[in-house]
A = this chain, B = another copy of it.
Amino acid sequence: MSITLFDLVGTNSKIKFGPFCWRTRMSLLHKGLDFTSEPWRFLEKDTIADSGHTTVPVINDAGQWVGDSWNIAKYLDEKYPEKPTLMNGAEGEAHALLVQELCASLVFPAVIPIAAYPVSKILDEENQAYFIKTREAAFGKKLSEINVDQDTGKANLEKALSPFNNMLKSKQFIGGDAPSYADYVLFGVLKWADVVSSYRPINDSSAVGEWFVRLDNMYGSHGANAPTVRTGQL
């Protein structure tokens, strides 16, 4: 029985853009588990009510609900120990946790000005109103005021990514020789920006850009083949 991933989308149900959903999507691929992506929109709280969560990612694994990307990764490792590990023991968990904190303090603040406003443009009227209202309340600013031009967005993101960029000059993955959950934590945030932005926000010739493409090309080029605002519905 396959796992259902409730997966954030806008008007076009093929364009999956949730940063936390991408963390879970890559985790499921990493573990080689069958899953179905169920398009989900901000206001569809009823669909996932039984999970006890009001936002996605949420998974349903043969009747078992699990929500929150971090908890889902831990659940998958515990439930499927025979599959490739996402967080290898306490050190792997601490490693992924540090990357998650760095995303919160360094990377999200550089990605939000690139990605938040474009998200508002790909939602239907009701979801758009909800998204704008909740995000403007959280940020204390109009989305259009948070939004930055392409040059500023790319420069700020490159600066925020510099510790990762430096380490990726000598390692293939944040997890070392192979990706671990630490990799997917950062990848999810960047994939969000890449999917919704009208331009490529990452510098492809940087170490972090090469790492992004490396992950995008894994698992049957799952990430590389995913529809974006720029490609439309592939």
Contacts from A to B (Cβ < 8 Å) = 88-95, 97-102, 104-106, 162-164, 166-167, 170-171, 173-178, 180
Across the interface, do A94 and B171 meet the contact criterion of CB distance under 8 Å? yes
Return the chain B residue nearest A95 by Cβ.
Answer: B95
Instruction: Collect the chain B residues with CB atoms within 8 Å of residue A164's CB.
Output: 98, 101
- Complex CA gap A101/B162 in Å reads 9
Instruction: Collect the chain B residues with CB atoms within 8 Å of residue A163's CB.
Output: 98, 101-102, 104-106
**Known A-B contacts A105-B162, A105-B163, A163-B101; A171 and B92 likewise in contact (beta carbons under 8 Å):** no
Give the shortest distance, in Å, between A181 (CB) and chain B (any CB): 11
- Complex CA gap A95/B87 in Å reads 12
Give the shortest distance, in Å, between A140 (CB) and chain B (any CB): 20
Return the chain B residue nearest A89 by Cβ.
Answer: B176
Across the interface, do A177 and B90 meet the contact criterion of CB distance under 8 Å? yes
Contact sample, A vs B, 27 pairs, CB 8 Å cutoff:
A88-B91, A89-B176, A90-B175, A90-B177, A90-B178, A91-B91, A91-B92, A91-B95, A91-B177, A91-B180, A93-B176, A94-B174, A95-B98, A97-B167, A97-B170, A98-B99, A98-B163, A98-B164, A98-B167, A98-B174, A100-B167, A101-B163, A101-B167, A102-B102, A102-B163, A105-B163, A105-B166
Across the interface, do A176 and B90 meet the contact criterion of CB distance under 8 Å? yes
Return the chain B residue nearest A102 by Cβ.
Answer: B163
B97, B106, B173: which contacts A171 (Cβ < 8 A)? B97
Each complex incorporates copies of this chain amounting to: 2
- Complex CA gap A173/B94 in Å reads 8
Give the shortest distance, in Å, between A175 (CB) and chain B (any CB): 5
Most chain B beta-carbon contacts within 10 A, residue among A101, A104, A173: A101
Instruction: Collect the chain B residues with CB atoms within 8 Å of residue A93's CB.
Output: 171, 176
Instruction: Collect the chain B residues with CB atoms within 8 Å of residue A166's CB.
Output: 101, 104-105
Instruction: Collect the chain B residues with CB atoms within 8 Å of residue A98's CB.
Output: 95, 98-99, 163-164, 167, 174
Instruction: Collect the chain B residues with CB atoms within 8 Å of residue A180's CB.
Output: 91
Give the shortest distance, in Å, between A108 (CB) and chain B (any CB): 12
